Structure 1
Amino acid sequence: MKAVIIAGGKGTRLRPITSHIPKPLVNIINEPMLVHLIEILKKNGIEEIIITVGYLGQQIKENLGDGSKYDVKLNFFFEDRPLGTAGALNFLRDQLTETFLIISSDIIFDLDLKNMLKFHKEKHSIATLALTVAEIPVAFGIVVTEQDEKIVRFMEKPTWGEVFSDKINAGIYLLEPKVIDSIPKESKFDFSKDLFPLLLKNGENLYGYSISANYWLDIGTPEKYLQANQDILTKKVKITPKVEKKDNDVWIGEGTRVSESAKIWGPVLIGKNCVIDDGAVIDRLTVIGDNCFIGKNVHIKRSLILNDVSIRNNTFIEDNSIICSRVDIGEDTKIMNGCVIGEGTRIGSKSFIKERIKIWPDKVIKPGSRINLNVKFGTFLSQNLFGPFGITGIANIEITPEIATKIGAAIGTFYTERYKEKVKAIVGRDSRIISRLLKRALIAGLMSTGIQVYNLEIMPLPLITYATKIYDAHFGISIKVPYAEETSINIKVFDENEMDISNREKKKIEKIFFEENFNRVEPSQINDLIYVTRTHEQYVEEVKQIIDVELFKKGRPKIVLDCGDGSGSYLAPNLLTELGCEVISINAQLGMATPIKKFAPKMESLSVLMRSVKALNADLGIALNEDAGRVIFIDEKAQIIEGDITAALFAIYRLKEYGKGKIVIPVHTSNLVEQLILKNNGKVIRTKTGNRPLLEDIARNNAIFGAEPSGAFVFPDFHLSRDGIFSSVYLIQLMLKENKKISEMVADFPNFYMARKTINCPLEKRGKVMLSLIEEAYDHNFNTMDGIKIYFDYGWVLIRPSEKDDEFDIFSESRTQHEAVQIVNHWADEIKIIIHELETGI
């Protein structure tokens, strides 16, 4: 008798175990599942086997060969398209000329098939189905039989209301060749759903053969897969591990070294060529594959470790976890109950994987990570929720609606624990549909913790922070798609002072998020969502109170405004028009699918704006970034005004207004800005790079102005936030007051020459590189406010770790552009030499 093994499925229910390997090749006690099935068939006298394959079928054929090593003959049928469980039989008609066996590849059983064949012949059955019983039959196809075991009814995966039998289809069939005539050619056709009901309808004799007294297991889930291994160890099924058995039901493969101080409590199976190091504890019902390294004091409990796995010292693997092949787990890591770690994943030391987490193959988990959500997409997961620019991730993949809700709940929990009063939050977004989707999810999380949410809908960043101030909110949140990153989403959180929340506050929110210690409130304590409609109007009115509106109406400046299709596309042109400007808007769409424009002070990014200024003979060109928080200006000659020049210009006129005052600028700003501030009776406060350090120093020093060369300008007497829209209004007013073009206003500024370069550096070597650079800087004047800034007679260089983990940013300023470039190149080469010495020891 021939057997046909159905092995064409994708093993979806077993993922991530089967993401890179076909389900029939998944190891059970260190042998592929399909090998066990072949050996069961061989014991029952079946030596000619056809295997139908689809998903990763070539792997199956290459692994099993022609079957000679199992003393059987194997033939393969490759499905070039899904044919269902029965569809392939039409192509095998010539090989199946007598009674044949059909068997599913994802079951383990203990059955004498000869008795089933005898029953089949005695009943003159066209199809005999092996039947077993299940406590929860709704996951299977159920079958009703008469007293003589003749089948009278089928139901494929019924609801509980449709359960009329506890007998289920076990996936083992004896069939006569005649049944193939009922299978339509080249179409998808299943045994349970299609063929058997059709045969029954046509009056054919179908019988059920009870195997309820025999062992049978459908390996459809990770839990059942684990159970199959453990049932073999406890001898519930007659399958024996193919390695030498030691005392106390412990099987240990050839070439494996077990430390004398290790403890192994059987039943346990350890494969070939493994190392079990000092103090390791391997608890009952654990299976370890071949070529595995188990480090010192590692504890593994009732889990399955597949081939080529390394588990470093002091790591705990809790009950019923599955560690797939080629996984590397760092020291002092905890993997809790029921986890599945996909093939090729690397988990950094001191990580914590919460119970029942699934991590898909080839992921890289940073040291110290706390994982409480499944990790499916991407190749990298940080241990931090917040990055240098807020919370950023791939939209609807790394940051899904589910994750956004948890983020909202974590933020809400932090603030409700801090303030005992009713907590108010401002939430705004850009015009992208993904931002709206994730904002709604995040708001749900906030509201679940009792937060009163004020919904601003589409709103530029300066107005979100402005609304936080005018509505006396405890915090605000901005959600946007970052420029030039159409697949990402960015979430920023601001405190009641309009500043990015502090690192300490971020850490507390991260702790709540990763530990899922959310403060859910009673339904009666959930507040209604408040839609805010007058923020634009209030902002405009306050701007009008600060500036000279009559000056605008008299001057009627011509402005070309590029909004970058960002969230300032509605407010900015309307405000300038209302003030009296003649506004020509470009890239001012608020469409949800409008492509993101790149924002940078470069010719290729601003070429359309520059051409428009020149062609229209405009007085000024303005380019806002996607959230209108930053701005670049183009003069009437269509030349880009560098951010340092704009910062110096604003600082000079703020000092003229106040008579004197403090100006805050980052450490990498040109010395030109500092010289002009000092010349105009101002005091310079240098600060670290970043939005919060800038705003903190403005507030701490009661400064009258702050700026970053990237186009972020802060006028604290209006509000404490970078604001590209107000900055534009202020510059236009300066031009009108002075009755000068912007090029004339900066014509007397000294020339300055700067250069910048980025160089890669492995994260683990950054600290040593910094120490080496400090040693080299001892012969010069230097400071370490933000990285290392070294001063020379002819200029300076700043070397600081980038916001990215594996880079240094190098800035320089000198007497000529050539010298500035030489400086950054020299120090980039120095860093390369230091890295080489650290890597080679030379």
Structure 2
Amino acid sequence: VNTGIYVIEPKVLDMMPPATVVDWSSDVFPKMLTNAMPLYGFLVPGYWCDIGNIQTYYQANWDALEGRVDVEIAGERRHGNVWIGENVEIGYDVRIEGPAYIGNECKLKAGVFINGPACVGNFSVIDENTKVSNSIIWTYSYIGENSRLRQAIVCRHVTIKNNCLLEEGAVIGDDVVVGEGSTIDAGVKIWPDKEIEPGSTVHESIIWAGHYKRGLFSSNGLVGLINIELTPEYCARLGASFAALFPKGAALAAARDGQRPSRMIKRAMVAGMISSGASIIDLSELPIPVVQYYARDHRIAGAVHIQMSPLDSRSADIRMFDASGVVLDKKVERKLENLFFREDIRRVHFYEMGDITYPQDAIDSYIDGLIALTDVEAIRQAHLKVLVDFDHGSASLVLPRLFKELNIEAIPLNAGFDETYQSKTNEAFAEARRQSALITRTLGCKLGAYIDYGSERLFLIDEQGELLDHHEALGVIALLALKAKPGVLLAPATVPQTIAALVREVPGSHFVPAKTEPSALLRAAQQHQAQLASDASGGYVFPDHLLGFDAIFTLIKLLELLAKDGRPVSAVRKEVPRAAYEHRLETVPWDAKGRVMRTMVELHRDAPVDLADGIKVFVDGGWVLVLPDADMPRYHIIVSMEDSEQARALADRYSAMVKTAVGDTGSASPATAR
């Protein structure tokens, strides 16, 4: 192929042998000159660019933006060479330095910096505090917050998640997902339909690598960006895959929170489940524990719950449960993933499709079961006064009825449904708890409680308005529960050594460490017939009631225990010993995770260790746990000691050991708890 426009006499075509490869410049033109045939060149005004490589592709776009090409650019021309299309959303403090083109229906969120020359195609989204420099983004793509694009090309339907870096000359093909915290090095090209794991550093182009990531599920269910990853098509296929786990005609429950995106996702999943032969029990809006209880109590095959993520308003959480109301185990998750990725999904005939029913007894049956396990008279006679912050979650559909039944005076905060609900930053979450603590003390409440959006986690405030951290709250609840009914406390190996010591002091009780992964922890609680289990992050499990985290039941049970004990929370809290506790996070690339663990095992070959979950090294006065994160490219370094200076020194030392194993000398970041 040659550049240029040729006007030729028909007889020139006779010089080309049939069925033969012929090149103008190598074959035809030299032959014409040899035969003294006239051959002329004509210089015309205008613009020509032979786009044969990435650099000339950039150049053609930049020349058009800078006016070197006589083309009509759609959109409204603003200051300088900046064109803005129709219905573009521009957030607070957005900077656009031309030349730049922003297509129709684009969204530039707060703090975005477009450093031209740059092009953003129609319907693309650039999230908060992201900088796009000298880059081209095609249509329907999403760039996550705090990311940087430096002379990169992003094709159609691409998802770049938060905190990513695309270096000069990087090209991302159609339908690629780049995981959070990833770096795409200069000149790297990623072919279409690939998925880059979070935290990856990609040094070489990816052409034939695997199409999909390792799996759909994280340790806390399935999480995805609303209408970017969790599209109706995706969710319908997910629902069909879930239903295909069960026999045709199986009854499956579906529920959600009160948000519009959750409604869309649920309806898409329901359509998929029906297409695979399931009958649907539509539970509408319910808290997660009530859905789990319904699945177990009504002996249905399984259930699904969808809610907006409490950690990221752009994402939704999808939770799936088995017939016992327990989250799917890893084996079943892998089976579902295989069905989904291979599209090996059962499609039934039209007459085999199930119907949809709308029961109204889910909350009633949950309350009846809870009351049956509660000393109602003890609570009624105590005349308790409590403050509860519902965080606009679905727990407000259940607890007010229980408070009335149990003669509890409740001060509700944020109990109403809020369609504009946004997930809280860590700072906003801390401020909300401080406000709840102030009101608890001012109004003379026996207890203050903050229930998370999904009704799974409970955060406590004593009557003096003091916030309890996760370990203090676990100690208080465990002490009261085990004194009332001795047994097993099961919690992750990450909890301070003082918790195990506290439990051992209660006659007839003992502590059993478990893995941090929620599914494993719940099944261990069942196996060890635990009286109480906890994830040490605000989630509590009373297996006699439900094998799942339930903040509603935990709050009522705690009020019963306090009513019987007679002491205020602050007095019980004083019995919980404090320990020096350090928690650090170290970034470790996926491909280095195994090397870090092998190095740690080799370094402690002769030391007393526990390898049940990560590697726990026992030292004088405590222990150090080096634990790989199941979902992110990082390690946790957790230290529990009697002395705080020793704890910090050990955390520093083991952070350095992890860095050495990785070959990095960066600094660790402290863990942030919710």
Same fold (TM over 0.5): yes
Count of matched residue pairs? 516
- Partner deviation per Cα, 1:803-829 (whole Å, 9 max, x = no partner): 333100111111133332322222111
Equivalent runs, 1:188-337 vs 2, <5 Å: none
Q: Distance in 1 between matches of 2:500 and 2:428?
A: 21
Give the aligned residue type for 1:677: V
Whether 1:829 and 2:656 are equivalent positions in the alignment is yes
Out of 556, 571, 574, the residue aligned to residue 383 of structure 2 is 556
Q: Whose radius of gyration is greater, 1 or 2?
A: 1
Out of 715, 722, 727, the residue aligned to residue 542 of structure 2 is 715
Out of 495, 498, 503, the residue aligned to residue 669 of structure 1 is 495
What is aligned with 1:79? 72
- Partner deviation per Cα, 1:618-654 (whole Å, 9 max, x = no partner): 1111011110111111001111223223333333343
Out of 233, 243, 264, the residue aligned to residue 402 of structure 1 is 233
Give the aligned residue type for 1:630: R
Whether 1:472 and 2:299 are equivalent positions in the alignment is yes
Whether 1:452 and 2:279 are equivalent positions in the alignment is yes
Shift of 1:782: 0.7
Out of 330, 346, 353, the residue aligned to residue 190 of structure 2 is 346
Whether 1:60 and 2:74 are equivalent positions in the alignment is no
Shift of 1:52: 11
Shift of 1:661: 2.5
Q: Distance in 2 between matches of 1:630 and 1:673?
A: 19
Give the aligned residue type for 1:59: Q
Give the aligned residue type for 2:496: S
Equivalent runs, 1:109-124 vs 2, <5 Å: none
Q: Which has the higher contact order (CA 8 A, sep 6+)?
A: 2
Indicate conservation of the 8 Å contact 2:254/2:304, yes or no: yes
Shift of 1:768: 0.9
Give ranges in structure 2 of 5+ residues lacking alignment.
6-21, 25-37, 50-55, 77-152, 154-168, 174-186, 197-202, 667-674
Whether 1:385 and 2:378 are equivalent positions in the alignment is no
Q: Identity of counterpart residues, as a percentage?
A: 23
Equivalent runs, 1:446-595 vs 2, <5 Å: 446-595=273-422
What is aligned with 1:811? 638
Shift of 1:696: 0.7
- Partner deviation per Cα, 1:294-350 (whole Å, 9 max, x = no partner): xxxxxxxxxxxxxx9xxxxxxxxxxxxxxxx97799xxxxxxxxxxxxx9543699x
Identify which range, 775-784 or 619-628, moves more after superposition: 775-784
Indicate conservation of the 8 Å contact 1:348/1:365, yes or no: no
- Partner deviation per Cα, 1:424-459 (whole Å, 9 max, x = no partner): 112111111101111100111011111111111111
- Partner deviation per Cα, 1:749-804 (whole Å, 9 max, x = no partner): 32222121111011111111111111222342111111011111111111111133
Indicate conservation of the 8 Å contact 1:433/1:593, yes or no: no
Equivalent runs, 1:413-432 vs 2, <5 Å: 413-416=244-247, 422-432=249-259
Q: Distance in 2 between matches of 1:706 and 1:485?
A: 27
What is aligned with 2:128? none
Q: Distance in 1 between matches of 2:393 and 2:61?
A: 55
Indicate conservation of the 8 Å contact 2:659/2:665, yes or no: no
Shift of 1:573: 3.4
Give the aligned residue type for 1:661: G
Three-state SS of the structure 1 residue aligned to 2:266 is helix
Q: Distance in 2 between matches of 1:738 and 1:326?
A: 64
What is aligned with 1:255? none
Give the aligned residue type for 1:674: A
Indicate conservation of the 8 Å contact 2:614/2:627, yes or no: yes
1:62 and 1:368, CA in 2 relative to 1: closer, same or farther beyond 3 A?
closer
1:363 and 1:429, CA in 2 relative to 1: closer, same or farther beyond 3 A?
farther
Q: Distance in 2 between matches of 1:812 and 1:352?
A: 35
Q: Distance in 2 between matches of 1:767 and 1:61?
A: 45
What is aligned with 2:88? none
Three-state SS of the structure 1 residue aligned to 2:391 is coil
Q: Distance in 2 between matches of 1:76 and 1:60?
A: 9
What is aligned with 2:91? none
1:624 and 1:364, CA in 2 relative to 1: closer, same or farther beyond 3 A?
farther
1:553 and 1:654, CA in 2 relative to 1: closer, same or farther beyond 3 A?
closer
Identify which range, 44-53 or 436-445, moves more after superposition: 44-53
Indicate conservation of the 8 Å contact 1:569/1:588, yes or no: yes
Q: Distance in 2 between matches of 1:597 and 1:763?
A: 29
Shift of 1:405: 0.3
1:634 and 1:401, CA in 2 relative to 1: closer, same or farther beyond 3 A?
same
Indicate conservation of the 8 Å contact 2:582/2:651, yes or no: yes
Give the aligned residue type for 1:395: I
Indicate conservation of the 8 Å contact 1:347/1:365, yes or no: yes
Equivalent runs, 1:680-719 vs 2, <5 Å: 680=506, 681-719=508-546
1:62 and 1:425, CA in 2 relative to 1: closer, same or farther beyond 3 A?
closer
Three-state SS of the structure 2 residue aligned to 1:594 is coil
Identify which range, 597-606 or 763-772, moves more after superposition: 597-606
What is aligned with 2:211? 370
Three-state SS of the structure 2 residue aligned to 1:76 is coil
1:810 and 1:838, CA in 2 relative to 1: closer, same or farther beyond 3 A?
closer
Q: Distance in 1 between matches of 2:630 and 2:215?
A: 13
Give the aligned residue type for 2:218: G
Q: Distance in 2 between matches of 1:367 and 1:705?
A: 49
Give the aligned residue type for 2:632: D
Shift of 1:695: 1.2
Give the aligned residue type for 2:219: P
What is aligned with 2:19? none
Shift of 1:388: 2.1
Q: Distance in 2 between matches of 1:796 and 1:514?
A: 42
Three-state SS of the structure 2 residue aligned to 1:514 is helix
Indicate conservation of the 8 Å contact 1:476/1:494, yes or no: yes
Indicate conservation of the 8 Å contact 1:647/1:708, yes or no: no
Out of 48, 70, 83, the residue aligned to residue 44 of structure 2 is 48
Q: Distance in 2 between matches of 1:601 and 1:549?
A: 36
What is aligned with 1:629? 456
Q: Distance in 2 between matches of 1:627 and 1:569?
A: 11
Three-state SS of the structure 1 residue aligned to 2:438 is helix
What is aligned with 1:612? 439
- Partner deviation per Cα, 1:379-434 (whole Å, 9 max, x = no partner): xxx34222222111111001101100000011111223xxx6x3111211111110
Shift of 1:552: 2.5
Three-state SS of the structure 1 residue aligned to 2:529 is coil
Give the aligned residue type for 1:48: V
Shift of 1:368: 6.2
Shift of 1:363: 13
Indicate conservation of the 8 Å contact 1:467/1:535, yes or no: yes
Indicate conservation of the 8 Å contact 2:243/2:277, yes or no: yes
Give ranges in structure 1 of 5+ residues lacking alignment.
6-28, 32-41, 65-73, 84-307, 309-324, 330-342, 354-361, 372-381
What is aligned with 1:11? none
1:62 and 1:549, CA in 2 relative to 1: closer, same or farther beyond 3 A?
closer
Three-state SS of the structure 1 residue aligned to 2:281 is strand
1:326 and 1:678, CA in 2 relative to 1: closer, same or farther beyond 3 A?
closer
- Partner deviation per Cα, 1:102-128 (whole Å, 9 max, x = no partner): xxxxxxxxxxxxxxxxxxxxxxxxxxx
Indicate conservation of the 8 Å contact 2:294/2:365, yes or no: no
Q: Distance in 2 between matches of 1:721 and 1:667?
A: 19
1:760 and 1:364, CA in 2 relative to 1: closer, same or farther beyond 3 A?
farther
Indicate conservation of the 8 Å contact 1:564/1:596, yes or no: no
- Partner deviation per Cα, 1:348-398 (whole Å, 9 max, x = no partner): 99x899xxxxxxxx9997996335xxxxxxxxxx34222222111111001
